[in-house]
């Protein structure tokens, strides 16, 4: 279970509170107006921003002061943060060992992750020689290899076309189900939220609300969400 315990985040003029829990294995959409603080919330959970007050817990473990790399999570952004000078295999290897000292078993796991994400044959390509969809797959394969229990998706597939995006979301859902991964996903698309996430966290007006059923939230959106979703 992820617990945000009386969390208070301040970035200059901007401030955001969160006091909620997310059960293990849940798939939760994170929605709210532009600038409401969705990415800031993720950066705080991932450890790139230090909260002003409160705690972040994974089960009984207090993550609040833990280094980002030690936290039990992976985060995927829109720019896939792949290393441009490294091949697909090397980028994946970094998910296992930052010094790329890989055993035969590690290579076998990489081969498996490549197959799982449909990247066979692209092992030696550099990211610049991959399509956007293929880059997304590499980032997802790396997260798969890290096998952390919590996956934060900050619109990693936003630049893809609708069909490819839907395909990636299905893949995420499959992998998450296999690994029992808990997912938080920032989404601007109500259909994505509906298809992948039974519950939604709303971020608006400086507050992060606890998860509530996605369907009823979208069918009867509060003002802040109405403006964001458009007509
Ligand atoms: N380093 C910073 N210093 C001061 N303010 C910041 C900093 N980083 C972000 N902000 C502000 O914090 C607020 C939240 O930004 P954030 O990117 O988290 O919003 P968001 O909900 O993810 O928006 P979007 O949907 O447009 O991506 C914004 O008003 C932004 O201008």
Give CA separation, 205 vs 47, 79, 171, in Å: 23, 27, 33
User: How many structural domains is the chain composed of?
Assistant: 1
pLDDT at site 225: 87
* Angstrom distance (rounded) from CA 112 to CA 120: 9
Residue 50 CA to ligand 1 center (angstroms) comes to 15
Residue 152 CA to ligand 1 center (angstroms) comes to 17
pLDDT at site 86: 95
Assess contact for 106 and 95: CB atoms under 8 A.
no
Per-residue pLDDT tens over the stretch 123-146: 999 999 998 889 989 998 998 888
Would residue 77 count as lying in a domain? no
Quick check: 231 pLDDT over 80? Answer: no
The more confidently predicted of residues 78 and 169 is 169
**What is the residue-averaged pLDDT of the chain?**
92
Nearest CA to ligand 1 atom 31: 35
- CB-ligand 1 contact for 16 (6 Å cutoff): no
Per-residue pLDDT tens over the stretch 31-86: 999 999 999 999 999 999 999 999 999 999 999 999 999 999 999 987 777 999 99
pLDDT at site 32: 94
Per-residue pLDDT tens over the stretch 98-126: 899 999 999 999 999 999 888 999 999 99
pLDDT at site 98: 85
Residue 23 CB burial class (10 angstroms; 0-12, 13-18, ≥19): exposed
Residue 15 CA to ligand 1 center (angstroms) comes to 10
pLDDT at site 171: 87
pTM: 0.91
Would residue 72 count as lying in a domain? no
pLDDT at site 6: 98
Would residue 89 count as lying in a domain? yes
Assess contact for 54 and 7: CB atoms under 8 A.
yes
- CB-ligand 1 contact for 187 (6 Å cutoff): no
pLDDT at site 227: 79
- CB-ligand 1 contact for 11 (6 Å cutoff): yes
Structural domain including 169 reads 2-66+82-229
Report the chain's terminal Cα–Cα distance, integer Å.
35
Would residue 73 count as lying in a domain? no
Would residue 168 count as lying in a domain? yes
- CB-ligand 1 contact for 180 (6 Å cutoff): no
Would residue 8 count as lying in a domain? yes
Assign residue 44 the CATH number of its domain: 3.40.50.300
Would residue 71 count as lying in a domain? no
Would residue 160 count as lying in a domain? yes
pLDDT at site 116: 87
Per-residue pLDDT tens over the stretch 171-222: 889 888 988 999 999 988 898 999 999 999 999 999 999 999 999 999 999 8
pLDDT at site 229: 79
Residue 7 CA to ligand 1 center (angstroms) comes to 17
């Amino acid at each position: 279970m992820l617990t945000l315990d009386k969390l208070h985040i301040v970035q200059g003029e901007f401030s955001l509170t969160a006091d909620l829990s997310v059960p293990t294995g849940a798939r939760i959409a994170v929605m709210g107006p532009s600038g409401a603080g969705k990415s800031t919330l993720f950066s705080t959970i991932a450890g790139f921003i230090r909260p002003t007050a409160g705690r972040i817990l994974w089960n009984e473990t207090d993550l609040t002061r833990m280094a980002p790399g030690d936290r039990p999570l992976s985060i995927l952004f829109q720019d896939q943060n792949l290393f441009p000078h490294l091949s697909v295999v090397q980028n994946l290897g970094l998910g296992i060992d930052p010094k790329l000292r890989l055993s035969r078993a590690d290579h076998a796991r990489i081969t498996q992750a490549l197959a799982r994400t449909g990247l066979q044959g692209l092992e030696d390509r550099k990211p610049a020689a991959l399509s956007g969809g293929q880059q997304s797959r590499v980032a997802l394969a790396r997260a798969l290899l890290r096998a952390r229990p919590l996956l934060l998706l900050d619109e990693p597939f936003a630049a893809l076309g609708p069909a490819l995006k839907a395909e990636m979301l299905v893949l995420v859902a499959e992998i998450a189900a296999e690994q029992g991964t808990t997912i938080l996903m920032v989404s601007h698309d109500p259909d994505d939220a509906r298809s992948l996430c039974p519950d939604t966290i709303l971020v608006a007006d400086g507050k992060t609300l606890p998860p509530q059923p996605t369907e009823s939230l979208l069918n009867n959106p509060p003002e802040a969400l109405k403006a964001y979703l458009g007509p």
